[in-house]
């Protein structure tokens, strides 16, 4: 079988299983099985495919038909121009989270605390982009921290980041110029609205935060002023309907210049505030 026919067959199989963007996913999986960049597929459409590759591809197709996300199948995810290792122990990073990087990137600081680092994409991106920064990155999951440490080593920034096993601020000492977090913010009341890709393949700890999705903010925000330097900034990712609740919390606990920022889809994505 040639690559062209294989692409057609894989697209059909995914389409029959009602996989969104079946043609795109087919190209990604076929390229991965062939061991070539997706951009080179069009130059290899008349190449013959070995039975060994076809067998390996069938396993990938089966995983995708079972609603395993492409990123988890490949074991990698692009974020802020870099390719990060991911697995079942961490949240599959979303492109929307790049809104946080985009907001802070032109305001370099010397000290950063990230609460709930997961795969480490935010902490590591900042460590790569800012020469003078030192980051403390925490997670309650030791398995997630292993992934983050592996990524930090891959990008040669392990000396700029301290990874701590901590339940929010539990193990934190000192104060920081910037505190950031993409905490869990889905309410258990919304569980029936969550896709199988997310529900079955992202860790629950990284998704759910009580009945209304606000539990993490209610634990984080009251302690922010203890850990921010004067003039310091906090930036929290939020769910699209949580802006007012999170802003009210920040205003109630001594933060100033509290505001909401939208992502590229014009949905509320971040709430930020400062300590004066």
Q: Alpha-carbon distance 237 to 260, whole Å?
A: 10
pLDDT tier for residue 260 given thresholds of 50, 70 and 90: very high
- Domain final residue pick, 66, 84, 112: 66
Does 105 share its domain with 151? yes
Q: What pLDDT is stored for residue 201 in this prediction?
A: 95
Does 58 share its domain with 80? no
pLDDT tier for residue 217 given thresholds of 50, 70 and 90: very high
8 Å CB contact between 238 and 271: yes
- Give the CATH number for residue 81: 3.40.50.150
Does 39 share its domain with 87? no
Output the six-digit token pair for 177. 């110029």
Spell out the residues 6+ positions from residue 194 whose beta carbon is closer than 8 angstroms to its own.
186, 207
Does 11 share its domain with 56? yes
- What percentage of the chain's residues is helix, strand, coil (to nearest 5)? 45, 20, 35
Does 164 share its domain with 206? yes
Does 101 share its domain with 231? yes
Does 226 share its domain with 110? yes
Q: Alpha-carbon distance 106 to 101, whole Å?
A: 9
- Domain final residue pick, 13, 41, 66: 66
Q: What pLDDT is stored for residue 121 in this prediction?
A: 98
pLDDT per position as a tens digit, 100-135: 999 999 999 999 999 999 999 999 999 999 999 999
In which residue are the tokens 């199989």 written? 13
pLDDT, mean of residues 161-180:
98
Sequence length of the chain is 276
Does 96 share its domain with 131? yes
pLDDT per position as a tens digit, 153-163: 999 999 999 99
Does 39 share its domain with 146? no
Strand pairing partners for 161?
A: 135
Does 118 share its domain with 179? yes
Does 123 share its domain with 216? yes
Q: Where are the beta strands (DSSP E) in 45-185?
A: 76-79, 82-85, 111-115, 134-139, 161-165, 176-181
pLDDT tier for residue 72 given thresholds of 50, 70 and 90: very high
Q: Alpha-carbon distance 270 to 99, whole Å?
A: 8
Residue 48's domain comprises 3-66
Beta strands at 228-237 and 176-181: parallel, antiparallel or unpaired: parallel
pLDDT per position as a tens digit, 220-233: 999 999 999 999 99
Q: Alpha-carbon distance 106 to 1, whole Å?
A: 51
How many percent of the chain have pLDDT more than 70?
A: 100
Give the total number of structural domains in the chain.
Answer: 2
Q: Alpha-carbon distance 118 to 129, whole Å?
A: 19
- Domain final residue pick, 66, 96, 118: 66
Q: In what order do the strands lie in the sheet with 176-181?
A: 161-165, 134-139, 111-115, 176-181, 228-237, 268-274, 256-262
8 Å CB contact between 30 and 70: no
Query: Model's pTM, two decimal places?
Result: 0.93
Spell out the residues 6+ positions from residue 180 whose beta carbon is closer than 8 angstroms to its own.
100, 104, 112, 113, 114, 115, 122, 234, 235, 236
Does 131 share its domain with 188? yes
């Amino acid at each position: 079988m040639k690559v062209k026919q294989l692409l057609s067959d894989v697209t059909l199989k995914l389409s029959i299983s009602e996989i969104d963007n079946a043609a795109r996913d087919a190209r990604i999986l076929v390229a991965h099985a062939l061991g070539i960049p997706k951009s080179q597929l069009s130059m290899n459409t008349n190449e013959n495919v070995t039975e060994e590759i076809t067998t390996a591809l069938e396993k990938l197709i089966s995983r995708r038909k079972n609603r395993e996300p492409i990123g988890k199948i490949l074991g990698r995810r692009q974020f802020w121009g870099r390719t990060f290792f991911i697995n079942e122990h961490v949240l599959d990073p979303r492109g929307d989270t790049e809104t946080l990087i985009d907001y802070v990137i032109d305001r370099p600081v010397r000290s950063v605390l990230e609460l709930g680092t997961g795969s480490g994409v935010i902490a590591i991106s900042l460590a790569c982009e800012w020469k003078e920064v030192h980051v403390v990155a925490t997670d309650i999951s030791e398995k997630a921290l292993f992934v983050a440490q592996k990524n930090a080593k891959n990008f040669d920034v392990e000396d700029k980041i301290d990874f701590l096993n901590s339940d929010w601020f539990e193990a934190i000492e000192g104060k920081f110029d910037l505190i950031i977090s993409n905490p869990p913010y889905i309410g258990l009341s919304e569980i029936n609205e969550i896709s199988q890709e997310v529900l079955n393949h992202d860790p629950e700890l990284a998704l759910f935060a009580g009945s209304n999705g606000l539990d993490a903010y209610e634990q984080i925000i009251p302690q922010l002023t203890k850990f921010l330097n004067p003039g310091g900034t906090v930036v929290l990712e939020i769910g699209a309907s949580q802006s007012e609740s999170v802003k009210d919390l920040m205003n109630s606990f001594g933060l100033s210049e509290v505001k909401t920022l939208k992502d590229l889809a014009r949905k509320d994505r971040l709430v930020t505030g400062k300590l004066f």
